[in-house]
Chains A and B, each alone.
Chain A
Amino acid sequence: MGRRISQESGFTLVEVVVAIAIITTLVASFGPLIASSIRNIHWAGSRIKELYELRGQMERKMATLEGAPTTITVRGRDDEDNQREWVVEGVLVALRSESSGGIVDLVSFVIPKE
């Protein structure tokens, strides 16, 4: 009496080929998306950290008045509603951060303490 192969469980070759084709398509299409997403998340984390450090550097530069002398002309009205101009002298503090993510310019203005 011969064995009845058709009764054994398992995939047919066709099924396996179809499944592999589907999975391959899937990985080919979602793989780069997932990989780039992970890369982006990782980059964003380190960039945020970098920005906090940048803020600290900027604060230090402002505290030590590290920058170029500049003036700002403030235009507005006085308490009697007359149009006026005030020329204020101070220090222009600037910090540029260049990284793979792009360039960030931080700028501010500080008046030296009298």
Chain B
Amino acid sequence: MQLKDERGMMAIGVALTLIVVLSLFGGVLWQYSMFELKRVERTEEDLQALFLARAGAEAVMGAWKKRKAEKVPEQDDYVAPVGHVDTLYFDLDSERDPFTTVKPANYLGTVDVVVTQERVSEEEGQDEVVTVIEATAKVGSTTRTVKLVTYPHRYGHDDPPKWYEESTGYIRYYRENETSEPVTFRLQEPVILRAKDGTSISFDGSILTQMGWRDRSFAFSAPILVFESPLRLVRSAGVVEDSPLGSFDLVLEAEKVYLNDLEVAFLPQGNLSLNLNLQVPKDFSIVLALPLDSDPMAGLSPSQVSEKVGYDVRQGVDEDERYGEVYFGGHVYWRNYEWYRHRLVWAKVRARGGDNPVALKQLDGQAFFFKNGWRLIPEGIHDLGDPAAFNVQEYITESINQGWLIPIPEEHRTGLETIESLRPFFWEQ
């Protein structure tokens, strides 16, 4: 038999083509599915490694914050880990404290942490150190690295919180005036000025009532506020003159406040004319408060303060209040201004004075527990009118006697160097 007609062979050809197409399709599909399964496995391991690495970095950060090595009782100095830290394992069979430096039989993964300190010079003549904690976790065949960096300082002019202009010292009226990190104030100008926008407000009884005197106030809220630069609430008589009427409170809301030269200012009620601008005195004060809105337990309780102070002082501790710590470095001054009539333009009154500030020596270089809400210039001074009737030094002595300011015994003072470990760490991933 001869198969002369070969058209029938097409069917077999089609079948063979199908074999090729199907095998190719099946092969590609299988390969892709295997790739996807591998991707799932890698993602799982990557996720596990990420959280393990974060655990390692966090643990070493804890050691840095604590800075107190164990098992070396004779050396209770503050030290922190540097360089390679022993590998941490996560023991899958351990119920309690599963992170261990001893290699277990069954573990999820490992974490290797390296701590380095890099010197950076932000400004000439200053040598700042940046601490970098780099943690690498390995789970299966996947590794993941995370990095924690601490900068030497979080400045008040950094963004965030950007509370003031670095070059001018002008306070910025940002709504976000709270931060959970310690903040250092370092200004090119040794002054923190009130915001200039207040100067354009022309006096009008209705506007004043509507705005309220206290609307001029501003609060900086952080666990710790460190003023490396002097804090002067007013720069000059011109600023006093142009400023809005009433009180300007700079509220320092912190558990610990470190000041380095402080000046508050006062301009009494004028009596030169019926000019309404002179009917309301102006004062520029700080208020020491605790950030109780963000942390109701901020600061120290009355019992904690009582424990730290002498027996005689305990009776002055208010059982219903909480206390912070203030360290008056340098000097504290009360600067008085006055109204005067301009010589050439009779109707014009100007502010002047402030040349002989009153030194508040009771505060100079002293450390106090402050009761929440203490004002350096009391509110009642507005009712006095005549500044001569008010003796600021007596007021400070009264504040101490009445328990608004309680001297901190030397052994319970917290030096700035010991709060270095509170510098914030930031994740860099």
A residues contacting B by CB (< 8 A) are 6, 9-12, 15-16, 18-19, 22-23, 26-27, 30, 33-34, 36-38, 40-41, 44-45, 47-48, 51, 54-55, 58, 70-80, 82, 84-90, 92-93, 101, 104-111, 113-114
Contacts and interface: CB of A to CB of B under 8 A. Distances in A.
Contact of A37 (B30, B54, B66): B30
27 contacts: A6-B5, A15-B9, A22-B18, A34-B26, A40-B33, A44-B37, A44-B39, A51-B47, A55-B47, A70-B96, A71-B97, A72-B97, A72-B99, A74-B62, A74-B85, A76-B82, A76-B83, A76-B115, A77-B83, A82-B79, A86-B68, A93-B51, A108-B55, A109-B54, A109-B56, A111-B59, A111-B65
B58 A109 contact: yes
Interface in B392-406: none
B26 A86 contact: no
Contact of B11 (A16, A33, A92, A101): A16
A76 B111 CA distance: 13
Contacts of A105: 48, 92, 108
B98 to A, nearest CB: 7
Nearest to A22: B15
B52 interface: yes
Nearest to B14: A19
A29 B166 CA distance: 75
Given A15-B8, A48-B43, A78 B82 contact: yes
B22 A30 contact: yes
Nearest to B100: A73
Contacts of A101: 40
B256 to A, nearest CB: 12
Nearest to B38: A44
Contacts, number: 190
A101 B39 CA distance: 13
B19 interface: yes
Interface residues of B, number: 71
B285 to A, nearest CB: 30
Contacts of A27: 22
B29 A37 contact: yes
A79 B11 contact: no
A79 B77 CA distance: 12
A111 B62 contact: yes
A89 to B, nearest CB: 8
Report the 9 A-B pairs with minimum CB-CB distance, sorted nearest first: A88-B62, A44-B36, A86-B63, A109-B55, A40-B33, A76-B85, A108-B51, A37-B33, A78-B79
Contact of A70 (B36, B47, B97): B97
A11 B37 contact: no
